[in-house]
Structure formats: structure tokens, C-alpha cells
Amino acid sequence: MNRRIARTLLTHSFVTVLAATAALAHAQNSSDAVEWLSRIYQATHNLSYVGTFVYQQGEHSETSRITRLTSTHGNIEKLEALDGEPREILRTNDAVRCYLPKSRTVKIDRRFDHRGFPTLLQGEIGGLTQNYTVALGHSERIAGYSCEVVVLTPKDDLRYGYRLWADANSGMLLKALTFDGKGHTVEQFTFTQLTIGKVTQAEVKPQRTTAGWHVEDAEVAPVDLEQEGWRVESVLPGFRKVVEVRRTLRSSRTVEQVVYSDGLAAVSVFIEPLTAEDKPVQTGLASLGATNIYTREVANHLVTVVGEAPAASVQRIADAVNYHQPQ
Amino acid sequence: MNIEISALIDGEGSQRELDEALAALARDPQACECWRIYHLIGDAMHGHGLLSREFGAQLSDRLSREPTVVAPRAMRSRRERSRWVALSAAASVAAVALVGWLAYGPTANVVAPPVATVPPPIAEAKPKVPARVALPSATNDYLLAHQIYSPRVTLQGLAPYIRTVSDDVVEKGGR
């Protein structure tokens, strides 16, 4: 009988040790994966590169070229659509310029906070583990590069999951896939060719002169929506307010914009007054890859919620918007 | 009694111990629970797939509804058993931790065996299925205004902007 007691106890402690070891291995994998997220982030901002990537979403796919020059004089990044209309987007430290040759229009957008682009995520990468399980997958090869795979699995159904393939040497992101709660691919970006380093100033210049083009330069200013009677709250756990501004849209309209983010996904709420000329608002949902757009009318205003989040999340934020006449 | 049951599972122990174990299993729901948990631990350690918690009860139920041809002694339904047996704390915690880890651990590397899970609570006030509408005519402008604040762009660079640039997409009313 004593022998059996000893054996039973031994079995129990063995199982305990096994579980503890497994938990430790899990934690190690998770912190390594978070470390890889930081490396991806650093590579995106510190490298110069030129490459061709394919964007896929449903049956739609589109090829583009991306060129980035990182230098002490400032960073410039250029995105060119290689399919269809030859559109270009340029990003400098303070603004994004969108060149649309068909309508001979340049749209210029600036961040309100002037912090520049890179700061938003910095320091928040560790915080992602509150909403996502971050783990390393098996290494894979993409466009000739051996890649580490980082998988971000959401801890609830309020957000999408992500698989990221990063070059094992440089940390450069070679492929990014967004998946839904059923594990189905929602959209993906894949480099088919990439050269790191050696980018000249000429390569990041816009291709055409824009003399005579229509320029839409957005004006952005801070605003306090609550003081104006609006209740816009993040009803989604893990999403917090990033910015709240009043801005112009297409030169002619003024809209208010509130952005929520969980550190990776972002959702914007746009509110604009309706005028007599506006068509009646169609309440409902439209989708574009991982982006869902929900529209509704509140107190004679058009409320449009745009986000890279599942439809139900975008709708929940839209449904929570309400207005009370300020006292 | 747990020790006799453990011996029975391993095919060891004296005839008297085995008789006691079998007698306990026939009359005591706690002994049955002990039997089930020892198998659960064994299966987890050997990496065998696990059956659902209700498997035994469901099997009994299905058997009881089969047309009886010869029934020397009807099996008693075990559905009344529900209490979690007071096993040694270490074993219980370890079993739960291990099974929990197998089920919810790093999914990229480990294929979790199907384990007994509590059905998820019904989501509170799920919004109705929304009406599908065409993309707003200002979709690109919204996207441009939105993406400048998206952390996705800080992680991935300008690539996500490819979603914004095509006016054709909006004209066609979405993809």
C-alpha cells in the first residue's frame, strides 16, 4: 500500500512539474514573440528599402511598389499602385500626400499631434498582450528571405488576428495576414521582391508635376466633443481614445473625428452635420477587406464609423454614439 | 479508495484491493469521478485525445435507448454524478493546469486535443445582423483621415494605404 501511495504522489508531482515547465515555455515563447514585434517596428522605421508587394482581399488583388529612404535629412516613403490608375502616395515626417492623376487632385493629410508617425506604437507593444496572445510560429521563407513568424491571436471576438512574417536577419516585415474569428484570411500583404538599402532621393520623388492640380489640404484642430453634447465612448474593452479632432474632408466639409485603438487595430468615428442637399442616410454596413464601415444618422448628423475590426465591433461603437443638447 | 482505483487502472494490486475498488465504483459516484480523473491525467500525459466530459453519460443514455435484447442487469445512469471529487489538491490543480495549457496554450506549435469545455456564455445583446449598404462616396477620404492614426501603419509602413487609393473601388460600390 505504501508503494502505491508513493507512486500516486510521484505521478501527481510529475504532472505538476510538467504543467509548470509547459507554462514557462509558453511565457518564453510569448516574450520572444513580443521582442520580434519590436524588431519589425524598428526595421520598418530604420531601413531604406524598395520592393514590390501584392495586396489580396477576397478575389481582389493589387500589385504596388513601396520605396523608403531613411536619412538624417528626414524620412520619405512612397507607395505606387502598379495596377490600374497610376496613383501615388508619399509620406514625409509630417504629412501624407495622395496624388490622383485621373481627377488631377492632390490630397494632403497631416497628423494633428505633430509627434510624427512612429511614436504611436512605441512602448505599447508590450501592452498588446492584454488583448492578444502573442506567439512565435514555425519559420518560413518569403520572397527569398528566411522569416520568423509572429502570430497575434485575439483573446476575444472584438478584433482580428494577425500573422506576421519578418526577415530573420533584418526584422523587415515580408508578409502580413489578417484573419477573422474562424481563422479565415480577411486580407494579406506579401512582398514578392525586396531590396534593402541603397535608395536614392530621386526614387522617392513624385513622378509627375502637379501644376494646375486641385489641392485638398486638410485643416485639423483639437475639439472637445463632449462639451458639444456628443457622447462617443469606446464600448469595446481594450480600445482607448487616441485623438479627438475637427477637420476638413474634401475641402468642403467639416467633420469631427475620434480615434480609438487597442495598440494595433484602430476605429475612427466621424460626425458631420447633415444639410438639406444631402441624400437620406442609409443605415448599414459596408466592407472593404479588413475595414468595416458602419453608417447611421444621429440628431440630424451623419455618423460614419471606420475601422480595421470585425463588423460587430464597428457597429457597437456606432450604436453607442448619442447626442444631448448641451445645457 | 483512490489508491485501489489507481491500482485497478494499472492492472496491479491484490485481488482484495481490486474487489474493493470494483465495489466502490459500483456504488460511489465519487469513486467514478476519481476513475475518470485518473484516466484524464493518464491520457493527458500520454498525449491521447480526450473525450468530452459528457461522453460517458451520453453513451449510457444512448445504450439505454437501444432496443434491449438481453439485459442481464441494466446499467445505472451516472447522470446524477456531478460533484468534483476531492482529490489531492496537487493532482487536481496539476490536471486542470495541464489540460488548460493543452487547450489554450500557444496554438501555433501545439495541436490541442479536444477537451471538455464549458459552452461559451451567450454574448450579451448581440447587435442584429446589419443591412448591407454601398460604400460611402467619401470612403477614400475617410480612410485617408483614419489611417494616419492607425498603429498598423507604424508597424507596417505605408503599405496599408493601398486600400485607400483606388477611386474605382468606390465607384463600383465595393469589392
A237-271 pLDDT, tens digit per residue, is 989 888 899 999 887 889 999 999 998 899 999 99
pLDDT of B79-128, one tens digit each?
434 334 334 444 555 555 545 444 443 433 334 444 444 555 444 455 56
Residue B35 lies in a domain: yes
Say if residue B9 is in the same domain as residue B90: yes
Place of cell 447626442: A323
- Does residue B81 sit in the same domain as residue B143? no
Judgement on whether residues B43 and B89 belong to the same structural domain of the protein: yes
The CA-atom distances, in angstroms, between B100 and each of A128, B104, B106 are 22, 6, 11
Length of chain B: 175
- Among left, alpha and beta (phi > 0; psi -120 to 50; other), residue A70 is beta
**Is residue B114 one of the residues assigned to a domain?**
no
Let me know whether B84 and B17 are in one domain.
yes
Instruction: Select from B2, B87, B141, B170 the residue whose CB has the most chain A CBs within 10 Å, as the one to mutate to test that interface.
Output: B141
> Is 90 exceeded by the pLDDT of residue B158?
no
> What is the model's pLDDT at position B168?
58
More confident residue, B68 or A101: A101
**pLDDT for the residue A155:** 95
What are the two backbone dihedrals, phi and then psi, of residue B123, each rounded to the nearest 5 degrees? -60, 140
B88, B104, B120 - which closes a domain? B104
What are the residue boundaries of the structural domains of chain A, listed by start? 27-204, 219-323
> Which CATH number among 3.30.200.100, 3.50.50.60, 2.40.50.100, 3.40.50.300 corresponds to the domain A219-323?
3.30.200.100
Q: What mean pLDDT is predicted for residues B41-62?
A: 68
- Domain end: B51, B86, B104, which one? B104
Q: What is the pLDDT of residue B15?
A: 80
As beta bridge partners, residue A201 has none
pLDDT for A190 equals: 96
Among B13, B134, B165, select the one facing A98 at the smallest CB separation. B165
In a domain, B121, yes or no: no
| Amino acid identity at A159 | R
B14 found inside a domain = yes
Instruction: Please count the structural domains in chain B.
Output: 2
Examine the domain organization and report whether B95 and B13 are in the same domain. Answer: yes
Residues B144 and B160: their CA atoms lie apart, in Å, by 10
Q: Are residues B90 and B144 in the same domain?
A: no
Interface ipTM? 0.88
Range with lowest mean pLDDT among A79-83, A117-121, A142-146, A243-247:
A117-121
Considering only the beta carbons, identify the residue of B146, B157, B174 that sits closest to A286: B174
Q: Which three cell numbers stand for residue B2?
A: 483512490
Residue-by-residue DSSP string for A218-245? --EEE--TTTTTEE----STT-EEEEEE
Query: What is the four-CA torsion angle of B163, B166, B171, B175, rounded to 10 degrees?
Result: -40
The yes-or-no verdict on residue A312 having pLDDT over 80 is: yes
Q: What is the mean pLDDT of chain B?
A: 66
Q: Which CATH number fits domain A27-204: 2.60.40.1180, 3.40.50.970, 2.50.20.10, 3.90.1530.10?
A: 2.50.20.10
Q: Which residue of B has its CA nearest to A163?
A: B108
Q: Is residue B9 part of a domain?
A: yes
DSSP assignment string, A16-61: HHHHHHHHHHHHHHHHHHHHHHHHHHHHHHH--EEEEEEEEETTEE
Question: What is the least distance, in Å, from the CA of A298 to any CA of chain B?
Answer: 17
Structural domain for B147, as ranges: 139-171
221-250 in chain A: CB under 8 A from chain B: 242-243, 247, 249-250
pLDDT band at residue A151 using 50, 70 and 90 as cut-offs: very high
Nearest-CA residue of chain B relative to A58? Answer: B175
A79 touches chain B (CB under 8 A): yes
Q: Quick check: A111 and B149 CB within 8 A?
A: yes
Instruction: List the single best residue of A83, A96, A262 to mutate versus B (max B Cβ within 10 A).
Output: A96
Min Cα distance A279 → chain B (Å) is 11
Instruction: Say if residue B92 is in the same domain as residue B14.
Output: yes
Q: Residues for chain A: how many in total? A: 327
pLDDT band at A168, cuts 50/70/90?
Answer: very high
* Residue of A53, A63, A117, A192 for testing the chain B interface, max B β-carbons within 10 Å: A117
